[in-house]
Chains A and B, each alone.
Chain A
């Protein structure tokens, strides 16, 4: 699995960071998503799916 983030679409709600801070962070400058680990394994796979589900702008997607 690979996490794809589209910072152009991102609106910086921070939902992904709240879901799993070890996978995601936000830019200090404009709040957009920074993917810390784009190839999650184990329990983090489910967290990545949840982050995609709650993202308000569909800026996140998964390549299975």
Chain B
């Protein structure tokens, strides 16, 4: 009998999952663990089982449910402020599809020239600034932030305000009251912004939603503010961290970097592989079992919580050959870095495009780019629910 592990766990190497992940996956792939609030949950760690849990209706995404497994203390929101990420079928589909048309592959492709322009401007600013420069501040955060702001119709001038609050939401040790205040502040900001657009909705995502939802007779300001909040927050911290980590991952693996600088056609494969390799959201994919179900030979009962460990799944040798190697030529796209099932990341194709353009442009325009500090000294976000870097000193 192995000891009960406590979650969440912290990485000990910036390029590898917590060591216990491997042990759990190999020896006890569906196992009971302790959560910060003293309750227990199941951890599912094999690639196949993670995909099963995330795509089975017997596992609910309702984070508002009192039995839902929490890695950080949560709080119940009024019903009209819930968002699609906490909904199950049949409620979930229509909520997701209401905004999905804004995130299709074709819509993202249409944004390419503008994203390229934003990336070029940010790289100009990095090169015009001091050496060493901080890649997080100069590039990683502003690119996805500028893009999602333009899409939503949120003034980028306000980015300091919502980035400060978002950072608090992502840190695990933010006190509950402060976390709640941060949510309220951004929600109120969104609500005011939307209120100002109601008389004459502009042709941006939020404006189009006002028009569309009114036509359907389902428009509620609080509800749209919740959606706007979700898209704004989900849209920048995640991609920002992947830009920083991906840059470090490529600089530390020069043979891999040479593959994309030699053939930019390979950058999309590199993006998939970097997503798999770092899996920055990991245990964020929690679920509540609502009907007894067997997973990987283990019976999970209704009312029990489950953490689907994306990072363990993405390092599962049964799904990926030599999983601990960064190999952009593996061409494997079945990773679960964006989750799986009906809640799979809505913005994944926007993220892919931003990452592809950033990596292509950054290494083409600054071929001499290098880290300005040893990897071991970099401030990795070991205390956050989304992995990444606080700062990334680079020079050239």
Q: Which of A21, A29, A32, A56 contacts B341 (CB 8 A)?
A: A56
B100 touches A19 (CB 8 A): no
Measured CA separation A50–B98 after assembly (Å): 28
Measured CA separation A48–B335 after assembly (Å): 18
Kindly provide the distance from the CB of B335 to the nearest chain A CB, expressed in whole angstroms: 9
Q: Which residues of B sit under 8 angstroms from A18, Cβ to Cβ?
A: 105, 333, 349, 352
A11 within 8 A of B: yes
B323 within 8 A of A: no
Restricting to B330-377, which residues have a CB under 8 Å from any CB of A? 333-334, 338-345, 348-349, 352
Measured CA separation A27–B141 after assembly (Å): 31
Kindly provide the distance from the CB of A12 to the nearest chain B CB, expressed in whole angstroms: 4
Q: Which residues of B sit under 8 angstroms from A39, Cβ to Cβ?
A: none
A12 touches B100 (CB 8 A): yes
B97 within 8 A of A: yes
A15 touches B333 (CB 8 A): yes
CB nearest to A9 among chain B residues: B342
B104 touches A26 (CB 8 A): yes
Restricting to B58-98, which residues have a CB under 8 Å from any CB of A? 93, 96-98
Kindly provide the distance from the CB of B271 to the nearest chain A CB, expressed in whole angstroms: 11
Measured CA separation A26–B103 after assembly (Å): 10
Kindly provide the distance from the CB of A55 to the nearest chain B CB, expressed in whole angstroms: 10
Q: Which of A11, A15, A50 contacts B96 (CB 8 A)?
A: A11
B contact patch SS? helix
B101 within 8 A of A: yes
Q: Which residues of A sit under 8 angstroms from B101, Cβ to Cβ?
A: 27-31
Kindly provide the distance from the CB of A18 to the nearest chain B CB, expressed in whole angstroms: 6
CB-defined interface of A24-63 with B at 8 Å, one 1/0 digit per residue? 0111111110000000000000000010011011100000
Residue from the set A26, A31, A32, A50 with the largest chain B CB neighbour count within 10 Å: A31
Q: Which residues of A sit under 8 angstroms from B103, Cβ to Cβ?
A: 12, 14, 31
Measured CA separation A12–B342 after assembly (Å): 9
A58 touches B55 (CB 8 A): yes
A32 touches B97 (CB 8 A): yes
Q: Which of B98, B105, B344 contacts A17 (CB 8 A)?
A: B105
A50 touches B100 (CB 8 A): no
A13 within 8 A of B: yes
Measured CA separation A50–B101 after assembly (Å): 24
Measured CA separation A53–B100 after assembly (Å): 21
Measured CA separation A47–B378 after assembly (Å): 40
A13 touches B333 (CB 8 A): no
B55 touches A28 (CB 8 A): no
Q: Which of A27, A32, A56 contacts B342 (CB 8 A)?
A: A56
B55 touches A57 (CB 8 A): yes
Q: Which of A11, A12, A50, A53 contacts B104 (CB 8 A)?
A: A12
Q: Which residues of A sit under 8 angstroms from B106, Cβ to Cβ?
A: 17, 25-26, 28
Restricting to B1-58, which residues have a CB under 8 Å from any CB of A? 54-55
CB-defined interface of B97-114 with A at 8 Å, one 1/0 digit per residue? 110110111100000000
B340 touches A56 (CB 8 A): yes
Q: Which residues of B sit under 8 angstroms from A28, Cβ to Cβ?
A: 101, 104, 106
Residue from the set B97, B103, B345 with the largest chain A CB neighbour count within 10 Å: B97
Q: Which residues of A sit under 8 angstroms from B54, Cβ to Cβ?
A: 56
Q: 17 pairs across A/B with beta carbons < 8 Å?
A: A11-B100, A12-B97, A13-B338, A13-B344, A14-B104, A14-B105, A17-B106, A18-B349, A19-B333, A21-B105, A27-B104, A28-B104, A29-B101, A30-B98, A30-B100, A30-B101, A31-B103
Closest 8 CB pairs of A and B: A31-B100, A30-B97, A56-B344, A14-B105, A26-B104, A17-B105, A12-B100, A11-B342
Taking beta carbons and an 8 Å cutoff, which residues of B are in contact with A?
Answer: 54-55, 93, 96-98, 100-101, 103-106, 333-334, 338-345, 348-349, 352
Seed contacts A31-B101, A56-B340; 19 additional CB < 8 Å A-B pairs: A11-B342, A12-B96, A12-B97, A12-B103, A13-B338, A14-B103, A18-B333, A19-B333, A25-B106, A29-B101, A30-B98, A31-B100, A31-B103, A31-B104, A32-B97, A32-B100, A53-B334, A54-B333, A56-B342
